[in-house]
Amino acid sequence: MPKFGKTSRKNLATCHKDLQDLFNEVIKHVDCSILEGHRGKKRQNKAYDEGKSKVRFPDG
């Protein structure tokens, strides 16, 4: 059975509880990684400025 690596576990821990529950079920069936968790103000606005997000902080 697949399992999350250290980085995925760290990123997932910063996500909303519903996403944590969902991906803890997903990993039982499909190997996957959590590339990013919660974004703070600076990172979210940077993602928006680079066209990688549709909303600025804290609207998302």
Q: Which helix (H) or strand (E) holds 7?
A: helix 6-12
pLDDT, residue 59, reads 77
pLDDT, residue 50, reads 98
Tens place of pLDDT per residue across the chain (60 aa) = 999 999 999 999 999 999 999 999 999 999 999 999 999 999 999 999 999 999 999 875
pLDDT, residue 60, reads 59
Tokens of 48: 């928006």
pLDDT, residue 27, reads 99
